Amino acid sequence: MENLGIYIHIPFCIAKCPYCDFYSVTFQEQTADDYCKQMIRALSNAPGQGRKVDSVYFGGGTPVLLGERLVYILNAVREHFDLTEDCEVTLEANPAAMSFSQLQTLYQGGFNRISMGVQSASDTELARLGRLHSFEQAKQSVMMAQQAGFGNVSVDLMLGTPGQNEQSVDHFIQTFLDSGVQHISGYLLKIEPGTPFARQHIEKVCPDEETSADLYLHTIEQMERHGFLQYEVSNFAKPGFESRHNLKYWNCEEYLGIGPAAHSFLDGKRFYFERDLKGFLQAENVWELTKSDGEGGDLFEYLMLRLRLVKGVKLSELHDRFGEQTQPIAERAAFLQKHGLLLFDGERISLTPKGFLISNSIIVDLLEYC
């Protein structure tokens, strides 16, 4: 049986960023205490207990706001699951909400990877994004994490933001290359319905689609020039530091998500918790709250997820997993290769950087030939 991944959702923030559609509420100490206790109870009767786990990911929200409570939750994970010796334990963090002593406590408590939402190297861009930290604070936070013991540090870079240009992107990459981070996530700003950015029609002051695409392609080129190899649409890493947890999603492997808005894929089924903190806190048994999201791992889903990876997918894998006749898709892949959208060697299909920009359209196109 393959190793399981565990995702713990921490739905608290100091303030909501205007572009963010993830589920979160304003942080309060008492609510955080109650949430920690409920999460520990949830782990005590979680499905999949006893399974080997090689990745635990605390996402949010702003998980670091819980401080030492995160260690209590991680200890509960250890109590009910079999963590591998090299288990990757990731914490998402906001540069505006951490201290050195807090980072030391978390590292000593078993966290070994930290992912920081830096987003930009420009204070003007950061302010426009509603971020509470400066770029100097972000650099200091990375240094603090390293001094606390973290040897696996990731930072986020948002692309296509108001006022952004290639010089800003280059400054970001060079700064964190010099600081010694191991991983960078670089993703295009998406205006989500219902967010303040959507209501403000922020797209009017963002780079247009063509300029944003050029920024993305420029980012790939600069990352690889500096030794950050692209392994997924939006992720770059030094060799050996690819995010194990996120690879579970893209390889269509199993994971268990706990907390409001968390999703799971277990025993061929997908299910999720609704975006309801109050309901989660009041439940006698939180697992009775989960909603079915149907079967998982079908051909469409597998192809969609695997083609997010630079390594792509082998035709033999499609045949072995789904019994599909692969000749029609092979012929279509050979055609799309002529347009520079993918690479195909007769066995493996993988998207090019230009192909990643229209990946959904390419996947739908390929599925018509399955």
**Half-sphere exposure of residue 198: CA atoms within 13 angstroms, side-chain side:** 8
Encode pLDDT of 298-349 as tens digits. Answer: 988 999 999 999 999 999 999 899 887 788 899 999 999 999 999 999 999 9
194's torsion region: left (phi>0), alpha (psi -120 to 50) or beta? Answer: left
SS3 159: strand
Question: In a structure prediction context, what are the per-residue pLDDT tens digits for the chain, which is 370 residues long?
Answer: 899 999 999 999 998 899 999 999 999 999 999 999 999 999 999 999 999 999 999 999 999 999 999 999 999 999 999 999 999 999 999 998 899 999 999 999 999 999 999 999 999 999 999 999 999 999 999 999 999 999 999 999 999 999 899 999 999 999 999 999 999 999 999 999 999 999 999 999 999 999 999 999 999 999 999 999 999 999 999 999 999 999 999 999 999 999 999 999 999 999 999 999 999 999 999 999 999 999 999 988 999 999 999 999 999 999 899 887 788 899 999 999 999 999 999 999 999 999 999 998 998 999 888 7
Nearest to 4 by CA among 80, 46, 56: 56
- Pinpoint the residues of the chain covered by CATH 3.20.20.70: 4-249
Exposed, middle or buried: residue 343 (CB in 10 Å: 0-12, 13-18, 19+)?
Answer: middle
According to DSSP, residue 128 is labeled H
Structure tokens at 293: 């999201």
| DSSP conformation letters of 52-90 | EEEEEEEEES-GGGGTTHHHHHHHHHHHHSEEEEEEEEE
Please report, for the chain, how many H helices and E strands are present, in that order.
15, 17
Residues making up the chain, counted from first to last: 370
Q: Which CATH architecture has domain 4-249?
A: Alpha-Beta Barrel (3.20)
**Strand-pair partners of 59:** 9
For the beta carbon of residue 209, count every other beta carbon within 10 angstroms.
Answer: 12
For the beta carbon of residue 178, count every other beta carbon within 10 angstroms.
Answer: 10
Q: What is the pLDDT of residue 272?
A: 98
Q: What is the pLDDT of residue 200?
A: 93
Residue 49 · residue 2 · CB < 8 Å: no
Burial of 21-34, coded b for 16+ CB within 10 Å and e otherwise, reads eebbbebeeebbee
Q: Record the pTM.
A: 0.95
Residue 80 · residue 113 · CB < 8 Å: no
Residue 105 · residue 91 · CB < 8 Å: no
